Amino acid sequence: MKSPKTADRTAQETPAIRVDASTLYAEYQANQVAADQKYKGKVVVVSGIIDRIGKDLLDQTLIHMGKSSLAGVDFTFVKSDSSSIANLKKGQTVSVKGRIDGELLTSVMLKDCTLQ
């Protein structure tokens, strides 16, 4: 789990890139190496429609955007954002700021996320 200081730094950093969730996912599907060079480790703002709200294996709050529950973009949040996430609904359009961690299986992963 990341420290709150790491999440605070991510929240304060100005994103260089704004991208739609479907575009980000498509870029990773087309060429993971090129997408990692473009995005990995960078703070971005991703917009899209929430497909699922839940928790990951480490009990971190998670939002998934994508056409299926297995493929898309996953955002993990620090526990302090849980109350904000609890007010969201599936099908709602949101923008999320976070750091791209790369692709894991069939999802693009972002960490240290905050709602915009």
DSSP β-ladder status, 107-115 and 72-77: parallel
Place of tokens 């739609």: 20
Whether 28 has a pLDDT exceeding 70, the answer reads yes
Measuring CA to CA, how many Å separate 104 from each of 28, 39, 73? 11, 14, 10
pLDDT grade, residue 2 (50/70/90)?
A: very low
Question: Is a pLDDT exceeding 80 seen at residue 13?
Answer: no
Cα(13)–Cα(44) distance, integer angstroms: 9
The CATH number of the domain where 95 resides is what? 2.40.50.140
pLDDT for residue 77: 92
Q: Which residues contact 101 (CB under 8 A, 6 or more apart)?
A: 40, 109, 110, 111
Count structural domains, the chain: 1
Domain extent for 12: 4-115
pLDDT tens, position by position, 47-83 = 999 999 999 888 889 999 997 777 899 999 977 788 8
Could you give the maximum distance between any two Cα atoms of the chain, in Å? Answer: 36
User: Taking the model in full, what pTM does it have?
Assistant: 0.84
Structure tokens at 13: 């950093």
pLDDT of residue 56: 84
